[in-house]
Amino acid sequence: MTAATYDVLGIGNAIVDILARTEDGFLSGQGMTKGAMALIDEARAAAIYQAMGPATEISGGSAANTIAGLADLGARTAFVGKVRDDQLGNVFSHDIRAAGVAFETRAASVGAATARCYVLVTPDGERTMNTYLGAAQDLSPADIDPAQVAASSIVYLEGYLWDPKDAKEAFLKASKIAHDNTRSVSLTLSDAFCVGRYRDEFLDLIRSKTVDLVFANEAELTSLYQTEDFDSALTQLRNDATLAVVTRSEKGCVVAAKDKVTAVSASPVKQVVDTTGAGDLFAAGFLFGTVRGLSHEDCGRLGALAAAEVIQHIGARPQTSLKALAKAAGLPV
Binding site for a second copy (CB under 8 A): 20-21, 49-50, 52-59, 68, 86-88, 91, 94-96, 98-99, 113, 315, 317, 319
Least CB distance to a second copy at residue 45 (A): 11
CA–CA distance from 277 to each of 116, 119, 272, 291 (Å)? 15, 11, 12, 21
Minimum CB distance to a second copy, residue 110 (Å)? 16
Smallest distance from a second copy to CB 20, Å: 8
Q: CA-CA-CA-CA torsion for 186, 191, 197, 202, nearest 10 degrees?
A: 20
> Which is nearer to a second copy, 86 or 297 (by Cβ)?
86
Considering the complex, state which of residue 86 and residue 169 has its C-beta at the smaller distance from a second copy: 86
By beta-carbon proximity to a second copy, the closer residue of 20 and 246 is 20
Q: In Å, how far are 166, 171, 197, 245, 333 from 202, measured between CA atoms?
A: 16, 12, 10, 15, 32
> Nearer to a second copy by C-beta: 55 or 203?
55
Q: Cβ of residue 85: shortest distance to a second copy, in angstroms?
A: 12
Beta strands in 47-140 (DSSP E): 56-59, 77-80, 102-103, 115-121, 127-132
**Residue 195 φ/ψ, nearest 5 degrees:** -60, -40
Nearest-angstrom CA–CA distance, 115 and 119: 13
Nearer to a second copy, 52 or 287 (CB): 52
Strands 15-21 and 56-59 come out as antiparallel
